[in-house]
Amino acid sequence: MKVTRAECLAWRKIDQETVVIHLAERKMFGLNDIGGRMWEALSAPTTLERLEAIVVEGGLEGANVIDAVERFIVDLAEEGLVMSDEPLEGRGDDAEVVDFMAPGVSGRVPRIEWREEIRQFAGQCHFLSGQSHQCNQHPGGS
C-alpha cells in the first residue's frame, strides 16, 4: 500500500507543528512534530513501511509503531488529507490500544493535534440575488 497527500491543500511548518489547510473543505489542521515529518514524506506515494521507519526514528518502538502509523493515516484519510492506492477500511481498528497520551509516548506518536473550520464568504458573493447580507458578515461568524 502506498499513501500520498490529497490535492487542494496548503501547508506550512510553524515552530514544531505543521499546519495544513484543506481548501475545498475549508478546514485547518495542526499536525504534531512527528506527524509533520510524516507529512513531508507524503509529498510522493509512500509505503507504510517507510512511514513506520520515520516513527521509529522519532523514538517509538515495538507494536506501537504500526498502530500509530495506521491510526494517523486513517485520521488523515478521514479528513480528506491523503489518498491511498488500497482501501484503508479496518486499518487501525484492531490495533492494540496504545496509550498515546502516556508520558514519553505522546510526543512520538503522529497525530492531528487540532482541527478548525475556516469560514469564508468570497464564494458566497458569486451571483448573489437579494442576499448580499451574507457578504457583510465577518469571517469568523457571530
**Contact footprint for another protein (CB under 8 A):** 8, 10-12, 14-17, 19, 21, 23, 26, 28, 30, 114, 116, 118-130, 132-142
Between 25 and 52, name the residue whose CB sits nearer to another protein: 25
Between 97 and 122, name the residue whose CB sits nearer to another protein: 122
- Cα gap 22→10, rounded to integer Å: 7
Q: What is the DSSP string of 40-109?
A: HHTTS-EEHHHHHHHHHHTT--TTHHHHHHHHHHHHHHHTTSEEESS--TTTTTT-----TTSTTTGGGS
Between 14 and 63, name the residue whose CB sits nearer to another protein: 14
Q: Which of 31, 28, 29, 33 lies closest to 16 in space, CA to CA?
A: 33
Between 12 and 44, name the residue whose CB sits nearer to another protein: 12
Q: Give min distance, CB of 104 to another protein, in A.
A: 22
Segment (H or E) for 37: helix 33-41
Q: Give min distance, CB of 127 to another protein, in A.
A: 5
Q: Give min distance, CB of 53 to another protein, in A.
A: 26
